[in-house]
Amino acid sequence: MNTRSDVPPDRNLALELVRVTEAAALQAARFVGMGDKEAADQAAVDGMHAVLHTIHMDGVVVIGEGEKDEAPMLANGEVVGDGTPPHVDIAVDPLDGTRLTAQGRPNAVSVIALSERGTMFDPGPVFYMEKMAGRDELLDLLDLDRPLGKTVELVAERRGVEVRDVMVVVLDRPRHEEGIKQIREAGARVRLITDGDVAGALLAADPTRPVDLLWGIGGTPEGVITAAALKCYGGGMIGRLSPQNDDERKKAAEAGYDVTKVMTHDDLVRSDDCFFSATGVTDGDVLRGVHYEGSRGATTESLVMRSRSGTVRRIASRHDRDKLRSLTGYRYG
């Protein structure tokens, strides 16, 4: 067995990771529409945690469910995998869209990203980041300091369309009211989403979708996961840390973070060999959610990607929940 500490990730990890997000999605899906986002999130964490420890890797959770005293599983700094090489950083969001799941709304997904050890950005004390994402041909137009109205005009010019044909996906939050106003006053359209800006960024990066940009202030952990996804999928993003109060600004300064720096996806994930897997929990624009078949069957749809090869797989799976229970000891719905 190779015990070197610098062994790069193996290509088979891509297909190993889909088992992780499938397990989380299958666990969470039983709580769709039940109004309990904490229970849905815990179910996803349970499913993901159980399968992660069977993967042949020595992983450290860089982006997880929070600090260890607050998150007994998938906490930042937790070691996962079976302890064998490769040595990797892990970013997880067992349920991106807890509220979406609880309310039975579209676009809830389970996601995981992986890269070589020491290459993922650690958000530290800053929980929010201003982000902008788009497809490859628009990357040089991404700018967090230029007025949004001017940016959508430049996007329309680049695409050879009218400004009213440009669509920007934005999290529906009070903090975005001024930005939304600027986009609309320029003549462009806004697609508001309640949660799930990882899926929103994938929409913006896909040239076949009617969305051109994602913009707004969302979670920094989700920003790192999004960066890994876009390095695999195509397109890209920029982001800048966005402390929400004086205490966060003070902690960021004490920890040595430059909150004025605009980072790219290559800054957030400094590896050309990263992996990403997402499985739908509820039906959405990017992925179909978990569907139940009879008393024991279930189907899932996943995106599984690797940046080095540029391979993007869409995997439809059928699961026998009774057999999964007997193999793992976990209840899959």
Is 97 annotated to bind a ligand? Reply is yes
Whether 98 has a binding-site annotation, put simply, is yes
Residue 276's Cβ-count burial label (10 Å; 0-12, 13-18, 19+) is: buried
Q: Dig out the tokens for 154 from the structure.
A: 């430049």
> Does 301 belong to an annotated binding site?
no
66 is in an annotated binding site: no
Is residue 83 marked as binding? no
Residue 248, marked binder: no
How many Å separate Cα 167 from the centre of its chain?
A: 21
Token output for 115: 């890269």
Question: 86-109: string of b/e by CB count within 10 Å (b at 16+)?
Answer: bbbbbbbbbbbbbebbbbebbbbb
209 annotated to a ligand binding site: no
**Phi and psi at residue 257, to the nearest 5°:** -85, 135
Ligand-binding site membership of 187 (annotated): no
Residue 41 in marked binding region:
yes
207 annotated ligand binder: no
The order of strands in the sheet holding 263-264 is 189-193, 167-171, 213-219, 128-134, 236-241, 263-264
Was 219 annotated as part of a binding site? yes
175 is in an annotated binding site: yes
Q: State the Cα–Cα distance between residues 100 and 289, nearest whole angstrom.
A: 12
> Is residue 4 annotated as involved in ligand binding?
no
Is 124 annotated in some ligand binding site? no
Q: Does the annotation place 85 within a ligand binding site? A: no
- 33, amino acid identity: G
Which residue numbers belong to the known binding site?
Answer: 41, 65, 93, 96-98, 128, 173-175, 195-197, 219, 222
Which residue numbers belong to the known binding site for Mn(2+)?
Answer: 41, 65, 93, 96, 222
Which residue numbers belong to the known binding site for substrate?
Answer: 96-98, 128, 173-175, 195-197, 219
